[in-house]
Amino acid sequence: MNLDRKDLNILNLLQEDCTISLQSLSKEVGLTQTPCYERIKKMQKSGVIVRYSAIVSSDLFGFKHHAVLRVQASDQSSLKDLALFESFVVENKAVVKVLKISSKFNYVINYRYKEIDEFFKFVGTINKQTIICDSEIVMVLKTLKDEKGLFF
């Protein structure tokens, strides 16, 4: 889908506040409501806009701690075992991001927790996986930036 400046402006405004009224959004981008709405629907249909969501403060719910676990899978791991490992990690609600990377470590797992015991229990479970040959824990001391949207 080819996006023009007005589409990008719509996306920027929706990323800032997805609850913005169609009237305000249209006014900001210089369109009437009908063409603005049609552009939004077109971007939804084409997959440019995947979903709308609320970004919740994890600190207010007690998830004040954040750690990163880097995991190296064994070269002998089967595709089935890797898929099972990936499913286990992705389905864990405390895991907020999983990246498969090209490095000594194959995965980077971002984990939010209330108490350190929860995290070490998770790490223990990960390290018991037969495909794991090495792992490294990085405790996050401070988050300097955590931007969810894209910039245009």
Residue 70: the pLDDT is 97
The whole-angstrom separation of Cα 106 and Cα 6 is 40
Residue 137: the pLDDT is 96
Indicate the domain borders of the chain. 5-46, 59-139
Q: What is the DSSP string of the chain?
A: ----HHHHHHHHHHHH-TT--HHHHHHHHT--HHHHHHHHHHHHHHTSS----PPP-TGGGT--EEEEEEEEE-TT--HHHHHHHHHHHHH-TTEEEEEE-SSSSSEEEEEEESSHHHHHHHHHHHHTSTTEEEEEEEE----S----S---
Nearest C-alpha neighbor of 92 from the set 123, 51, 138, 116: 123
Residue 150: the pLDDT is 80
pTM: 0.80
Residue 110: the pLDDT is 96
Q: What are phi and psi of 111, to 5 degrees?
A: -130, 130
User: Which CATH architecture best describes the domain 59-139?
Assistant: 2-Layer Sandwich (3.30)
For 5-46, CATH gives: 1.10.10.10
Residue 151: the pLDDT is 78
pLDDT in tens, the chain (152 residues): 899 999 999 999 999 999 999 999 999 999 999 999 999 999 999 999 999 998 888 889 999 999 999 999 999 999 999 999 999 999 999 999 999 999 999 999 999 999 999 999 999 999 998 899 999 999 999 999 988 778 77
The whole-angstrom separation of Cα 58 and Cα 124 is 24
Residue 42: the pLDDT is 97
The whole-angstrom separation of Cα 143 and Cα 2 is 35
